[in-house]
Amino acid sequence: MKKIFLIALSSFMGLSQLSTAQEKIAKRPNILFAVADDAGWKHFSAYGCKWVKTPAFDRVAKDGILFNNAYTPNGKCAPSRACIITGRNSWQLE
């Protein structure tokens, strides 16, 4: 009887450690960068555009966070992407 109890107790302790690890993973933020060429904020239905339908983007905006104010380090798309990927300023990129 004691052996069965110890096996059950050790199995239960292993499961609790697993759930703690899963909780740590679940607490990490899930960040999605949506980068599009030649698309302004006015061209997404989540921002009120009536003539462009973006259902997938609308769903992400509804279930997550929709930014109404953002900053770009550079007016050009390629340097802005490089800044996002590297974390450097556009004047530091070659």
What is the domain range of residue 37?
31-94
Q: Are residues 73 and 55 in the same domain?
A: yes
- Asked if 79 and 93 touch (Cβ cutoff 8 Å), the reply is yes
Q: Are residues 77 and 57 in the same domain?
A: yes
**How many Cβ atoms sit within 10 Å of the Cβ of residue 36?**
11
Residue 9 is predicted with a pLDDT of: 41
56 and 17 in a single domain? The answer is: no
Q: Catalytic residue among 39, 77, 78, 84, which? A: 77
Tell the residue number behind the tokens 């997938």, with chain if given: 56
Q: Quick one: 64 and 80 in the same domain?
A: yes
* 22 and 37 housed in the same domain: no
44 lies in the same domain as 73: yes
* 83 a catalytic residue: no
83 within 8 A of 92, measured Cβ to Cβ = no
> Whole-prediction pTM value?
0.52
Please indicate, yes or no, whether residues 37 and 75 belong to a single structural domain of this protein. yes
Number of structural domains found in the chain: 2
Q: pLDDT tens digits, the chain, 94 residues: what are they? A: 444 444 444 444 455 555 676 776 667 777 777 777 777 778 889 989 999 899 988 998 888 888 888 777 787 878 888 888 898 988 898 8
